[in-house]
Structure 1
Amino acid sequence: MYIGIDLGTSGIKLVLTNQDGQVIATQSADLTVSRPAPLHSEQAPQDWVAALHSAMNQLAQDHALNQVKAIGLSGQMHGAVLLDSNNDVVRPAILWNDGRSHQECIELEQAVPNSREITGNLMMPGFTAPKLLWVKKHEPENFAKVAKVLLPKDYLRFVLSGDFASDMSDSAGTLWLDVGKRAWSKPLLAACSLTESHMPNLFEGSEVTGHLHQDLAQRWGMDAVAIVAGGGDNAAGAVGVGLTQPGQAMLSLGTSGVYFVVSDEYTSNPESAVHSFCHALPNTWHLMSVLLSAASCVSWFAESIAKQHLPTLLAELGDDIVIDDNSPFFLPYLSGERTPHNNPYAAGNFFGLSHETDKKAMFFAVLEGVSLAFADGVEALHASGTQAKEIMLIGGGAKHVGWRQLLADVLNRPIKFCEAGEVGPGLGAARLAQLAVDKDTPFAHICRTPDTVAVYEPNAQRHAMFAKRQEKFRAIYQQLKPLFVADE
């Protein structure tokens, strides 16, 4: 058996799989986010450890774990965990959706003019490097204590095995990695007054980084099994649904939205805020466009506007999505936006409301707004020269049948809906664990794709209408952009 540990923002999830890759069990524990100031988003790493122990204790209570061979790790990317020389946490971890370091991004790009060439990415407040520069400027007493900088999942690795290690896919999201060379960049580290000694050792996602502490192994009824590098949440999630070959793509409708395409070479389009990262597998990369708010827009509308539980609202409004030339628009930038705008100050907006606009029309506008934002991201990614052979649709939002067809019509591409379940990156982490130690099972069997539920073909007439609405959608953002500014 194999265990995948996925450290998410809202909770930690464990996935237990067998030799055939079947999910035997899952276990989870909730987490909360602290927002001590505008644009700030933090968590206490100690809370991650408590959640991990809670979930593992319960998993060990429910299942005999003596057949577990390896543990893989996945987690939220870009977070900054700072440890002192005693390996104690210096301050709360600054998370991926923290937007405080906008000015530091500008300063880092000025300090390293070829940073985009090295990293394949724009400097954005969500990434790790500008967070460290912010700490240096605003919390010098904390920065002076920093001996190690770890990503969230890699702090759990340290707790599990005592090793300072990371994988290529997660490390690419720090903006300290030379993504083409798959190695730390000394100039980018120096720009943050750091060296390679502050960084964990680098491994491919399917490599062993250490072994489980003996006391933890005894507590959970396991051997001191291998701890495997794993991957950032999106790369691990891609492995979990079998996206391992060039040209494969997925569109994930989770809290945030991701369009992910696998490549066998390093390419980039940073000017359009496309992310270019290493994949969790050797000699493989991926391009990714990111919406900071996707299915979360739907939850927000249900809870804050319609004042209904989402399942109740969905049952009431049904699967048929009716949109025409006179329908209102929605800009889905509830948490700012990455691709293609790189604007942490962008905000959500309804446009074109009238006396005839009802709850249903506003809900449909939300679905369309997220879909049009996805189209912006897909276009930006394809401008890099990387094309998708097929698009797999996964994520909680993909359960809405009408939304699947809407995406096909807006993107003008066939959409293959796969029932990938709710295990996500945890399954990918378990697969990477198996790849590291199971040399007898073929790669294609371990990393197979889920069954296809349905394929949604685009409607040419509907796409023509959405193409016109896309132009107006973009124009609305451009008109409002000067008003999206930081609070003084």
Structure 2
Amino acid sequence: MTYVIGVDLGTSAVKSLLVNRSGDVTASVSKSLSVQQPAAGHSEQNPDEWVEQTKASIQALLEETGIKAEEVESLSFSGQMHGLVLLDENGRPLRPAILWNDTRTSEQCETIRRTIGENELIEATQNTVLEGFTLPKMLWVQENEPEVWSRAASFLLPKDYVRYRLTGSMQMELSDAAGTLLLDVKGKTWSRTMQEGFNISASFCPPLIESHESAGTLTKEAAVQTGLHEGVNVIAGGADNACGALGSGITEPGEGLLSIGTSGVLLVPDHGEAVPDGRLHYFNHASKDQYYYMGVTLSAGNSLQWVKDNLFFDETIEQLVERASQVPAGADHLLFTPFLTGERTPYMDAGIRGSFIGLDIRHTRGHIVRAVMEGITYSLKESHEIILQQGFQIDSLVSIGGGAKSSFWLQMQADAFGCPVRKLAHEQGPGLGAAMLAAYGTGWFATLEECKKTFVKEGETFNPDPDQSLIYEQSFQAYKKIYAQTSPLKRS
């Protein structure tokens, strides 16, 4: 038996999956990661901790399963997006990595808009600027840590840095590079407009590589530290959302991914026909010559967790969801907006905050929890609506994350979106997508579509109820009015 390894580098942990040729996950190991918050709005990690914990997770996989090093043919990566790892001329980090959820760069975002112009920015990169993207982080370092910037010779994103340390070969993979605001996404090249606009030399931006391409083999040192052999084929990998879609079988237009974790994502693939207007992210997919539209809700499952932790801490999430299921659709006219940490799509507003609208003396815990679940769903439905306005057809959605653990919430999603919602039989997230890239990249399958048929195993399908869909649509129309009414009250 031979295997591949998929490494998922998240924010709180790095998780490695051992997967056989049948697509079965034989074992998984997770190693925790620490996050530093040295000031308000700052979020950083030590890049070398990623490397050490990745090595430890791979080594633990081999020890727990007892397989031989020679049985692992390939490994690949999924990684958190946007994080800035600044490197000196020797390829060593100059400072902690600034993460995707760091919000210190609002002024730098405005500088980018003024310098390039909103329309020109979308033309150059197919995206608008947000605090989480990589380029604003570079400008922040230029302005606030000039001595660090003066020593910077290049940069990498999180998973690309780990791969570099394992192979000694420095590249940046396309689906991740798409989130830097330096890439011409459709052209698959570094944008000269952005480089020249901010004095970033061509040599500062690493060579680009496709998700399925080989980045080399392990160094002797990495082989010893992981327990693998030096000949392991190391495949480039993909950004976490791209790998999450791949691992859920979402590779073709007409399909969609609905991910409700701490944040929420609605993602649909595209063959390149779309004309981005900045309302949604538009990135390269981990499947070659494909792209995807993506809308993001910043506080999705996080909103439900907030309610549990601060209002109803004496009950479990499962108990609260059961209460919500006893309340009718529309929560008896109670609405909730999940803007607890600002909102991404479609408002791109870091200052807006959440609200309950329509609280009534009759409302119970169940009403409040149902309103929160519906509000999260409506927030993602706003992205769904934009995607449909762009001319896309969404025939079905695959739901993953916390939102897929409840049959009640899955049915709510089907009713609210008005299309079938499917769950996976065995959800493994972005790590499985990374394993699929390893399997395809090393030659197990002729195409990713063939790989998908073997690796992705679907479970139950939830079909929409027309009567319930009508109730949700009426409630959704009321929900959409809230932002304009509450925006004047947001914090300055």
Which TM-score band (shorter chain)? over 0.9
Q: Cα gap change, 1:308/1:44 in structure 2, threshold over 3 Å: closer, same or farther?
A: farther
Corresponding residue of 1:16: 18
* 1:368 pairs with 2:374: yes
* SS of 2:113 mapped into structure 1: helix
Select the residue among 96, 103, 112 that pairs with 2:100. Answer: 96
Would the aligned equivalents of 1:394 and 1:419 in 2 still touch at CA under 8 Å? no
Corresponding residue of 2:417: 411
Following the alignment from structure 1 to structure 2, what is the Cα–Cα distance between the partners of residues 130 and 443? 34
Cα deviation, residue 311, structure 1: 4.5
* 1:62 pairs with 2:43: no
Residue identity in the other structure for 1:257: G
Residue identity in the other structure for 1:40: H
Would the aligned equivalents of 1:302 and 1:313 in 2 still touch at CA under 8 Å? no
* 1:29 pairs with 2:31: yes
Following the alignment from structure 2 to structure 1, what is the Cα–Cα distance between the partners of residues 57 and 331? 50
Q: Which moved more, 1:170-179 or 1:436-445?
A: 436-445
Would the aligned equivalents of 1:179 and 1:266 in 2 still touch at CA under 8 Å? no
Following the alignment from structure 1 to structure 2, what is the Cα–Cα distance between the partners of residues 157 and 266? 32
In the TM superposition, what whole-angstrom CA distance separates every residue of 1:388-430 from its partner, at most 9, and x where no partner exists? 2321112222111111111122222222222342x21111111
Corresponding residue of 1:483: 489
Q: Cα gap change, 1:426/1:458 in structure 2, threshold over 3 Å: closer, same or farther?
A: same
Would the aligned equivalents of 1:266 and 1:276 in 2 still touch at CA under 8 Å? no
Would the aligned equivalents of 1:339 and 1:377 in 2 still touch at CA under 8 Å? yes
Corresponding residue of 1:348: 354
Cα deviation, residue 478, structure 1: 1.1
Following the alignment from structure 1 to structure 2, what is the Cα–Cα distance between the partners of residues 309 and 176? 46
Following the alignment from structure 1 to structure 2, what is the Cα–Cα distance between the partners of residues 343 and 460? 33
Q: Which moved more, 1:178-187 or 1:212-221?
A: 212-221
Corresponding residue of 1:259: 266
Matches within 5 A, 1:383-398: 383-398=389-404
Q: Which moved more, 1:154-163 or 1:262-271?
A: 262-271
In the TM superposition, what whole-angstrom CA distance separates every residue of 1:303-362 from its partner, at most 9, and x where no partner exists? 222114644534763744533473321111122211101111222222222332222211
Would the aligned equivalents of 2:30 and 2:57 in 1 still touch at CA under 8 Å? yes
* 1:173 pairs with 2:179: yes
Corresponding residue of 2:465: 459
Would the aligned equivalents of 2:124 and 2:193 in 1 still touch at CA under 8 Å? no
Corresponding residue of 1:39: 41
Would the aligned equivalents of 1:394 and 1:420 in 2 still touch at CA under 8 Å? no
* SS of 1:453 mapped into structure 2: strand
Q: Cα gap change, 1:248/1:55 in structure 2, threshold over 3 Å: closer, same or farther?
A: same
Would the aligned equivalents of 2:80 and 2:158 in 1 still touch at CA under 8 Å? yes
Q: Cα gap change, 1:358/1:11 in structure 2, threshold over 3 Å: closer, same or farther?
A: same
Would the aligned equivalents of 2:323 and 2:365 in 1 still touch at CA under 8 Å? no
Would the aligned equivalents of 1:303 and 1:309 in 2 still touch at CA under 8 Å? no
* SS of 1:250 mapped into structure 2: strand
Would the aligned equivalents of 1:321 and 1:403 in 2 still touch at CA under 8 Å? no
Cα deviation, residue 373, structure 1: 0.3
* 1:426 pairs with 2:428: no
Corresponding residue of 1:275: 281
User: Which runs of 5 or more residues in structure 2 are unaligned?
Assistant: none
Residue identity in the other structure for 1:237: G
Following the alignment from structure 1 to structure 2, what is the Cα–Cα distance between the partners of residues 195 and 260? 33
* SS of 1:371 mapped into structure 2: helix
* 1:110 pairs with 2:114: yes
Would the aligned equivalents of 2:324 and 2:370 in 1 still touch at CA under 8 Å? no
Would the aligned equivalents of 1:70 and 1:437 in 2 still touch at CA under 8 Å? yes
Name the Cα RMSD after superposition: 2.0
Select the residue among 86, 89, 94 that pairs with 1:85. Answer: 89
Q: Cα gap change, 1:321/1:213 in structure 2, threshold over 3 Å: closer, same or farther?
A: farther
Q: Cα gap change, 1:193/1:442 in structure 2, threshold over 3 Å: closer, same or farther?
A: closer
Structure 1 runs (4+) greater than 4 angstroms displaced: 318-321, 439-442
In the TM superposition, what whole-angstrom CA distance separates every residue of 1:89-140 from its partner, at most 9, and x where no partner exists? 2222111112221222222123223110122111111111111112212222
Matches within 5 A, 1:177-192: 177-192=183-198
In the TM superposition, what whole-angstrom CA distance separates every residue of 1:376-395 from its partner, at most 9, and x where no partner exists? 11112222222223211122
Corresponding residue of 2:222: 216
Would the aligned equivalents of 2:7 and 2:431 in 1 still touch at CA under 8 Å? yes
Residue identity in the other structure for 2:112: L
* 1:161 pairs with 2:167: yes
Q: Which moved more, 1:42-51 or 1:227-236?
A: 42-51
Following the alignment from structure 2 to structure 1, what is the Cα–Cα distance between the partners of residues 331 and 161? 50
Cα deviation, residue 177, structure 1: 0.5
Cα deviation, residue 56, structure 1: 2.2
* 1:233 pairs with 2:235: no
Following the alignment from structure 2 to structure 1, what is the Cα–Cα distance between the partners of residues 326 and 288? 43
Q: Cα gap change, 1:186/1:485 in structure 2, threshold over 3 Å: closer, same or farther?
A: farther
Would the aligned equivalents of 2:320 and 2:365 in 1 still touch at CA under 8 Å? no
Q: Cα gap change, 1:309/1:210 in structure 2, threshold over 3 Å: closer, same or farther?
A: farther
Select the residue among 456, 465, 477 that pairs with 1:471. Answer: 477
Residue identity in the other structure for 2:94: V
Following the alignment from structure 2 to structure 1, what is the Cα–Cα distance between the partners of residues 412 and 5? 36
Would the aligned equivalents of 2:211 and 2:437 in 1 still touch at CA under 8 Å? yes
Would the aligned equivalents of 1:78 and 1:170 in 2 still touch at CA under 8 Å? yes
Would the aligned equivalents of 2:264 and 2:298 in 1 still touch at CA under 8 Å? yes
Q: Which moved more, 1:12-21 or 1:240-249?
A: 240-249
* SS of 1:12 mapped into structure 2: strand
Would the aligned equivalents of 2:425 and 2:460 in 1 still touch at CA under 8 Å? no
Q: Cα gap change, 1:198/1:265 in structure 2, threshold over 3 Å: closer, same or farther?
A: same
Following the alignment from structure 1 to structure 2, what is the Cα–Cα distance between the partners of residues 134 and 470? 39
Q: Cα gap change, 1:310/1:47 in structure 2, threshold over 3 Å: closer, same or farther?
A: farther
Q: Which moved more, 1:30-39 or 1:183-192?
A: 30-39
Q: Which moved more, 1:31-40 or 1:89-98?
A: 31-40
* SS of 2:127 mapped into structure 1: coil
Corresponding residue of 2:153: 147
Matches within 5 A, 1:113-152: 113=117, 114-152=120-158
Select the residue among 250, 259, 268 that pairs with 2:257. Answer: 250
Residue identity in the other structure for 1:25: A
Q: Cα gap change, 1:429/1:452 in structure 2, threshold over 3 Å: closer, same or farther?
A: closer
Would the aligned equivalents of 1:2 and 1:433 in 2 still touch at CA under 8 Å? yes
User: Which runs of 5 or more residues in structure 1 are unaligned?
Assistant: none
Would the aligned equivalents of 2:126 and 2:278 in 1 still touch at CA under 8 Å? no
Cα deviation, residue 440, structure 1: 5.3
TM-score by length of 1: 0.94
Would the aligned equivalents of 2:214 and 2:236 in 1 still touch at CA under 8 Å? yes
Would the aligned equivalents of 1:13 and 1:426 in 2 still touch at CA under 8 Å? yes
Q: Cα gap change, 1:193/1:380 in structure 2, threshold over 3 Å: closer, same or farther?
A: same
